[in-house]
Amino acid sequence: MANVRKVPLRKCAATGEMFPKKEMIRIVRTKEGEVSVDLTGKKSGRGTYVSKSEEAVETARRNRSIESQLGVSVPEQVYEDLLYAIRREAIK
């Protein structure tokens, strides 16, 4: 009998769709209230996930869904960092 590993799923803050955790980008709010992109998925703090598509990031920006999930205002630089990370990964 083959071992079937369970794939952890996470819900996209922008679209509400479920994706495997490895196909998502994590945004984290630290205890100090700083919001940043967590490419490793290991930073401590409250986190939310966005799928790796520019459309999802733009939807999250428009709907302020990341802000409501984290409970703080998200600086514009975080959205720019998300888009940069998505574009950089698309080139690979």
86: domain CATH number is 3.30.1230.10
What is the DSSP-derived secondary structure letter of residue 12?
A: B
Is 2 domain-assigned?
A: no
Is 28 domain-assigned?
A: yes
Q: How many CB atoms sit inside 10 A of residue 52's CB? A: 18
Is 1 domain-assigned?
A: no
Is 4 domain-assigned?
A: no
Is residue 92's pLDDT more than 80?
no
**Each residue of 42-91: pLDDT tens digit?**
999 999 999 999 999 999 999 999 999 999 999 999 999 999 999 998 77
- Number of structural domains (the chain) is 1
Can you give the residue range of the structural domain that contains 56? Answer: 9-91
Residues 6 or more apart whose CB falls under 8 angstroms from that of 89 comprise: 52
Is 22 domain-assigned?
A: yes
Closest CA to 83 of 60, 69, 8, 72: 60
Is 64 domain-assigned?
A: yes
